[in-house]
């Protein structure tokens, strides 16, 4: 049986650089195409929440493992609620995301329960970093109420991680299973990081932090 807490710590350690940069102030710059203002920040957040809703709904529809299916269904509902909340903040219920983040394109290509649960962990760790930057933006914009909304999204991510850890302990029965899950977790983080780098380089910005 996999030690889920140790698994999560290993994912963090093996992807420390990518996670650190995804949690830097440049992440919003990358997500908004360099236009760090309230509307672009909310639109980028809506894109991510909508993609997550669709990803986990799709996973739930095709999942045979009962606990995993229930976890994906619950997560999909949370992400749908997040998306609707962001639309309320945006004040534009007609807004429809036009692109799928590379992270979710990667997730949607996974078919096995072990790969999905591992990648679920990676997605949560990457998303927590980006949510922290959204909270920071609204704190800096002297909008504590909206910052509080996105802190609640972060709380949901903490619960999702607990959920993922529980499933890991049931689906990873061998060392080989755990290695597959670790690879999928890192793959999810790498997909998010690769898009971060691509977006910054396309704008002529250095993806590495300036010391």
- 4-202 CATH choice from 1.10.150.120, 1.20.910.10, 1.10.3720.10, 2.30.60.10: 1.20.910.10
Please, are residues 83 and 53 in contact by the beta-carbon 8 Å criterion?
yes
pLDDT (tens digit, 9 = 90+) per residue, 21-76?
Answer: 999 989 999 999 999 999 999 999 999 999 999 999 999 998 999 999 999 999 99
Give CA–CA dist 121/110, Å, rounded. 14
For the chain, what is the radius of gyration of the CA atoms? 17
Enter the DSSP assignment of 112: S
Give CA–CA dist 97/5, Å, rounded. 34
pLDDT (tens digit, 9 = 90+) per residue, 126-151?
Answer: 999 999 999 999 999 889 999 999 99
pLDDT (average), residues 163-190: 96
Answer whether residue 166 shows pLDDT above 90.
yes
What pTM does this model have?
A: 0.95
Q: Structural domain boundaries of the chain?
A: 4-202
Please, are residues 130 and 31 in contact by the beta-carbon 8 Å criterion?
yes
């Amino acid at each position: 049986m996999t030690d889920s807490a140790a698994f999560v710590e290993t994912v963090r350690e093996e992807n420390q650089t990518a996670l650190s940069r995804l949690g830097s102030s440049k992440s919003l710059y990358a997500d908004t195409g360099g236009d760090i203002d309230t509307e672009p920040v909310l639109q980028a957040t809506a894109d991510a929440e909508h993609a997550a809703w669709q990803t986990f709904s799709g996973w739930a529809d095709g999942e045979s493992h009962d606990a995993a299916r229930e976890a994906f269904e619950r997560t999909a509902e949370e992400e749908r609620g997040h998306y609707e909340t962001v639309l309320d903040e945006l004040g534009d219920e007609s807004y429809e995301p036009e692109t799928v983040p590379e992270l979710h394109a990667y997730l949607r290509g996974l078919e096995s329960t072990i790969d999905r649960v591992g990648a679920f962990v990676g997605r949560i760790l990457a998303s927590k970093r980006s949510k922290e930057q959204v909270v920071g933006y609204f704190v800096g914009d002297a909008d504590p109420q909206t910052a509080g909304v996105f802190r609640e999204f972060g709380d949901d991510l903490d619960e999702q991680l607990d959920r993922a850890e529980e499933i890991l302990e049931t689906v990873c029965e061998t060392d080989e299973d755990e290695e597959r899950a670790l690879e999928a977790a890192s793959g999810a983080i790498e997909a998010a990081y690769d898009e971060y780098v691509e977006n910054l380089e396309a704008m002529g910005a250095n993806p590495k932090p300036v010391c």
